[in-house]
Structure formats: C-alpha cells, structure tokens
Amino acid sequence: MRLVYPGRVPVTALAGVDLTIEQGELVAIEGPSGGGKSTLLNVLGLLDRPTDGTYRIDGAPARAGDARARSSTFAFVFQGFHLLDRRRVVDSVELGLLHRAVPGKERRRVALDALAAVGLEDRWDQVAGTLSGGEQQRVAIARALASGAGVLLADEPTGNLDRANGVAVLDALEGVNGRGVTVVLVTHDPGIAVRAPRRVRIVDGVVVHDDRRGVVVHHDDPPPPPGRPSRVRAVDTLRDVLASVASRPGRTAGLALAVAAAVGLSVATAGLTTAATAQVSATFDERENRYVAVTDPGEGEDLTHVVGWTRPGDDERATALASVAGVDAAVVLANRDQHGVSVSPTDPALRAAVYTASGDLLGATAATVDPGGGASLPVGEVLVGALLAERLGLGPLASAPALWIDGRAVAVAGVITDGGRVPELAAAIVAPSADGDRYGRVTRTEALVLTASGAAQQVAAQAPLVVDPTRVEELQVVAPIDPRDMRAAIEADVRTAMVVLTAVALLAAVLALGNAMVLAIGERRGELALRRAVGARGLHLANLVLGEASVIGALGGFVGLVAGIAAVLAVTIAKGWAPVFDLRLAPVAVLGGIVVGVLACLVAVAGAIRVQPARALRD
C-alpha cells in the first residue's frame, strides 16, 4: 500500500506497507519523526485514502471517509487530546455514543463507567479544559473506551505528558487492550514501544521491522458498540447545539449582537416607516385639509329672497349639511352688511359687519370664543369680535353685558378672540339666524363644513346639492386639493428609503456575521475533525452549525426586536409623533434573526463539512 500526497513536488508518505493486525493485539508503531507513522495510523482509521493498494477490515475492502465504518470500528486517542475544552468532561466522553444515537441515560451510564475505569469518575462534571494534561489524555482514553469500538488508535498519546502521566496513560491503554480491544499505538519513544507485545518500525514510509515476539492475541472479540453507527437523534442534536452555544458565552454574545444590530435596525426602520407614513397621513389630514366652503357668487346683491339662501332656510341647510356622511361640523354664515354698534345708546356708533350663523359656528370655523360657548347662539345674544370690542372700549363682560346695534340692546354672550377660517369675525358681530329679521338684507352667504379625515373631496361633491340643488352650477365650492396622489407618492418614497436602508443593514450584518462564523469554525477545526473521526457525517456537522446559528439568530432577533422598538419609541417621542408598531412584526423579527444567522453561516457550513480530519487532527 502506498500514499503519495500530490503537489508541485509529490511527497511519498507511505512507500510500501504490507501489514496485518489481528483483533486483540497491542501494537506499537515506532520510528523517526516524518517516517510515516501517523500517516499509517490515519490510513488504518479511514481518515486518509491510500494512493494505491488494498486495505481490508475483517476481510472486506475498507473505504476512506466511511463514517459508518469509523463509527462502528475505531476509537481515537490523539497527542493533542482534542476534547470539548469548554464543556463538561462527560460531554467529551459521550461524543462517540452521541454519534451512534445512543439514548441520553445510557450514554451517561457508559461514560461514567469509562471515567471510573481511568480513575476520573469524580471529574465528570468539571470543564475539560481545566484538567491537567495527564487527566485530559485519560479522558480521551475514556472516550475511546466508552465508544465500544473494537480498535483503538493512539497517536503519540504520551507526547505532551511528563513521565508519571505517560506511564498512567500506558497503563490505561494496556487495561483497554485487556478487555479485548485492539490497540495500535504510534510513538517515537523506544521506552514506550518496548511495553507493547508487538513492535513495528517504519522508516521513510516503509516497514523495516515487525517484531511479533510475545504477542498475545485475545480471541474473544469485544461486544459490538451500542446504538447505530453514524446516527444522531434530533433531540441530541438540539441539546448538543444548546450546550455548544452556552459553552462560549463571549462568542455567542458577540455573534448575537451582530444579529441584533441588523434586526434592530430592520425593526426600527419598519416601525419608523409605519410611524412616518401615519405622520404623513396625519399631516395631510390636518384641519386645513378638512375644510369645504360653498359660496353664492352674487356677492353684493340682496339675496334675502333667493331660493335656498333665505333666512328661514339657513337652519335647515346647516342641519342638512351636518347630516351628510363625512361631515363633522357645519355652519351657514350670512353677511348682513354694515350696522351701527355702540356700548350705550348715547355713545357714537361704529359701523361694523354683522353675520348671522346657523349650525356649529366654532366647530366649522375653528374660531375661539372667550368665555367658551356652545355650538349655537341663543336668540337675542351676540358674539363680538375682539378687534371690534377693543375699538368700542368694551371692558369685561360683567361690566358691559350689552351692546346697542342700530339703537337696540342685545346681550353679549362672548368675545371672538380668533376668527379661525373667517378672520373677518374678529372685527364683526355674530348673531343667531333666528334674529336675522333685525339686521335686514343678506349680501353674502357661505356654508362652511369641517369634514372627517380624507372625506373632503366626497363632501365637496355633495354639499352644493344640499345647499341648493336648483343652482348647483352657480355655487362656488372651495375644497382642498385631493392629497391622495401626493400622499401616496410621499409614502412610497419613505417606504423605499427605509427598505433600502434595511436591506443594506441586513446585507452588512450577513457579511459581518458570516465572516465571524467562518473565523469561529476555523477555531473549532479540531473539534469538528474529532467529530468526523468518531463517525459524524457532513450532514451532522451542518446540522450542528446551522442549529447554533439558529439559536444565536433567535437570541439576536429577540434582542434586536426590543432594541428596535425602543428606538422607534425614542424617535417618535422626540419628534412628537404617535408611536405606531405592528405587533405582527415581533415573530417576524425573531424569524428574521434566525434567517440572518443561517444565511451568514452557509459559508461556514461548507467549511465545516470540508474539514479534513487527518490534517486538522495533526495540526
């Protein structure tokens, strides 16, 4: 059997090996560094593929990379230990059984028995990385023993240990061999090789010596390993994922924060988009865009007897307008021309416009009156504009409760401090329509309507028919420009900007997280290679990495959701907007975090699947 590594200068690792090892032997493969010892061990363990030649196990051809064969036949002990350093000792011992779908309780029992066999039963719950070198190597032997494999391959198992620990490890290997397990030990130390009943020396890839003296073969084969080769239960994958994530809190937090940043920005932009859209709608639906006015064009003419505008019809017109769908308030204002106004019958009178009103004056005009006032005026009372009151020298209403208009006394119900839609009211008198006979002819009449949000155009089409269906074409209608197209365009621009920002944030997060995941996989090459060595298939590693990414993504998604909502609240409160957030986005945000995590680790998954166990375990 030969193995040649290709390259610009091909390297012959095994030049010609003809070797047969019986079940139950303890064989030491020795020789100088670089002579091919570890390469031969990797070929035996199906970690490396020979360039040519035949390798048989129990008479059947063996194929390198066969995870099922490795899982059911081989256990490994490496010079570098290759434990799950950040997890409990028992997790490392159970690893081979985990990849044979052995149930959890049985795994734990077998693992504890194996630890007891190497004298570490009291260390099962300790973090593996905190053990001494000798203890870690004994844990690796316990892992091999717990797997139940018939062949144990040990590559320089004492190379990193002092003499006392080295002797303890060799004692443990001899104990394993005493149970009927075949042990193949690679070493460059003759003092260790001498303890093996069979010694094979390899130099420059060629077996130069095979000493079989003293070989004792255990003819009773060990029982088959428990479980099913190269299988992992879904529940065990989930537990493995959670344990792996919890074992690296710093890395998990960093990766979760990367997801949280992307999800948080996405949630914030989605929430701010909704809030900004609502704010656009609110801005377009402000009071200025809710007013409709219907005016008769015959300004200056005596309209007292014109059908539809006569005094007796004003109340009916205001009531009819107020009942139109989409109308919140309506008033009919009739300009009764100029009249003489004074504080007392002996004072000189000032000329001032007098209006009569039917309906909700304050609601339809947005005027303000001091002190307050209802929607309509009582008969015999008037409202005085603030500018006119100042010109008249009108004091507090308690000291001057009445005015004289054309020599007749009227009670003052209040002062119009702001005319709202009709600024002229600040310098005029407003009386109820029921008193219209006192003030003579009508020179101008106007129906003013306050509509519900978004109903201005609809009301503007119906109001003339209510005011005077016989003169619809002669009436002038003033309504706000239909804002729907403009609003739709602005809302679309806001949404587009937010979507682009979100997409850029997600892309940046995926790239950053993907790079972090690739680096994390690089740091775990030894662990992944070990999993491959004990029987894990590429699918198992992919599930492990994707599971970790999903957990980290879900955690980051939740944190991002909370941060995004907080950002939306902060911005909307600072801007004085109404906070708007669609609660249906909550599960979408968490799911989005999982998707970001999974997308980011796809490259890492490919790297995990392609880990070469032989090379990674040598490094």
Residues 465 and 96: their CA atoms lie apart, in Å, by 87
Q: Name residue 450's beta-bridge partners.
A: 291, 329
Residue pair 554/256 in contact (Cβ under 8 Å)? The answer is no
Q: What is the CATH number of the domain that holds 116?
A: 3.40.50.300
Verify that 13 and 108 share a domain, yes or no: yes
- Reported as a pLDDT band with limits 50, 70 and 90, residue 307 is very low
- Using a 10 angstrom Cβ sphere, with 0-12 exposed, 13-18 middle and 19 or more buried, the burial of residue 288 is exposed
Residue pair 545/251 in contact (Cβ under 8 Å)? The answer is no
Q: How many other CB atoms are found less than 10 A from the CB of residue 103? A: 14
Amino acid at 566: A
What's the mean pLDDT in 383-405?
81
Q: Is the pLDDT of residue 50 over 60?
A: yes
Q: Is the pLDDT of residue 333 over 50?
A: yes
Amino acid at 97: L
Verify that 169 and 65 share a domain, yes or no: yes
- Reported as a pLDDT band with limits 50, 70 and 90, residue 607 is low
At residue 236, the pLDDT reads: 94
Verify that 9 and 53 share a domain, yes or no: yes
Beta carbons within 8 Å of 419's beta carbon, 6+ residues apart: 365, 367, 385, 425, 426
Residue pair 334/440 in contact (Cβ under 8 Å)? The answer is no
Whole-number percent of the chain with pLDDT over 70: 82
At residue 304, the pLDDT reads: 42
| Residue 430 located in a structural domain | yes
Residues 450 and 420: their CA atoms lie apart, in Å, by 12
Q: What is the pLDDT of residues 469-502, one digit of tens each?
A: 888 888 888 887 665 565 566 667 766 776 777 7
| Residue 526 located in a structural domain | yes
Verify that 179 and 51 share a domain, yes or no: yes
Residue pair 83/92 in contact (Cβ under 8 Å)? The answer is yes
Residues 217 and 180: their CA atoms lie apart, in Å, by 8
Nearest to 352 by CA among 425, 418, 420: 425
What domain range includes position 566?
A: 249-282+486-618
At residue 91, the 3 state secondary structure works out as helix
Q: Name residue 160's beta-bridge partners.
A: none
Q: What is the pLDDT of residues 540-597, one digit of tens each?
A: 888 888 888 888 888 888 888 788 778 878 877 787 766 666 666 667 666 766 777 6
Residues 35 and 205: their CA atoms lie apart, in Å, by 6
Q: What is the pLDDT of residues 104-158, one digit of tens each?
A: 999 999 999 999 988 899 999 999 999 998 899 889 989 988 998 889 999 888 8
Residues 461 and 479: their CA atoms lie apart, in Å, by 9
Residues 304 and 442: their CA atoms lie apart, in Å, by 5
Verify that 398 and 291 share a domain, yes or no: yes
What are the strands, taking DSSP E only, across 128-172? Answer: 151-155
Q: What is the pLDDT of residues 152-171, one digit of tens each?
A: 999 888 877 787 888 888 88
| Residue 309 located in a structural domain | yes
| Residue 259 located in a structural domain | yes
Residues 263 and 596: their CA atoms lie apart, in Å, by 9
Q: Is the pLDDT of residue 312 over 80?
A: no
Verify that 452 and 308 share a domain, yes or no: yes
Verify that 224 and 86 share a domain, yes or no: yes
Residues 268 and 263: their CA atoms lie apart, in Å, by 8
At residue 257, the 3 state secondary structure works out as helix
Strand arrangement, sheet containing 206-211: 74-78, 151-155, 182-187, 26-30, 198-203, 206-211
Amino acid at 488: A
Residue with the bigger pLDDT between 309 and 523: it is 523
Let me know how long the chain is. Answer: 619
Q: How far is CA 109 from the centre of its chain?
A: 40
Residues 279 and 271: their CA atoms lie apart, in Å, by 12
The end-to-end CA distance of the chain, in Å, is 25
| Residue 409 located in a structural domain | yes
| Residue 237 located in a structural domain | no
Residue pair 202/29 in contact (Cβ under 8 Å)? The answer is yes
Beta carbons within 8 Å of 558's beta carbon, 6+ residues apart: 589, 590, 593
Verify that 92 and 210 share a domain, yes or no: yes
Residues 186 and 163: their CA atoms lie apart, in Å, by 17
Amino acid at 431: A
What's the mean pLDDT in 163-192?
85
**Max Cα separation, the chain?**
146
- Using a 10 angstrom Cβ sphere, with 0-12 exposed, 13-18 middle and 19 or more buried, the burial of residue 389 is buried
Q: Say whether the peptide bond before residue 224 is cis (omega within 30 degrees of 0).
A: no
Verify that 224 and 318 share a domain, yes or no: no
- Among residues 479, 513, 547, the one where a domain terminates is 479
Nearest to 176 by CA among 158, 151, 159: 151
Q: Which helix (H) or strand (E) holds 313?
A: helix 311-322
| Residue 241 located in a structural domain | no
Q: Is the pLDDT of residue 367 over 50?
A: yes
Nearest to 262 by CA among 618, 504, 15, 457: 504
Residues 590 and 562: their CA atoms lie apart, in Å, by 10
Residue with the bigger pLDDT between 213 and 189: it is 189
Verify that 254 and 367 share a domain, yes or no: no
| Residue 593, both tokens | 């975090």
Residues 359 and 430: their CA atoms lie apart, in Å, by 12
Residues 415 and 371: their CA atoms lie apart, in Å, by 7
Count structural domains, the chain. 3
What's the mean pLDDT in 418-428?
91
Verify that 471 and 557 share a domain, yes or no: no
| Residue 294, both tokens | 């219907």
Sign of the torsion angle spanned by Cα atoms 251, 255, 258, 261: negative
Residue with tokens 């001494």: 132
Verify that 329 and 357 share a domain, yes or no: yes
Residue pair 353/384 in contact (Cβ under 8 Å)? The answer is no
Residues 561 and 553: their CA atoms lie apart, in Å, by 12
Q: Is 120 left (phi over 0), alpha (psi -120 to 50) or beta?
A: alpha
| Residue 157 located in a structural domain | yes
Residues 342 and 407: their CA atoms lie apart, in Å, by 8
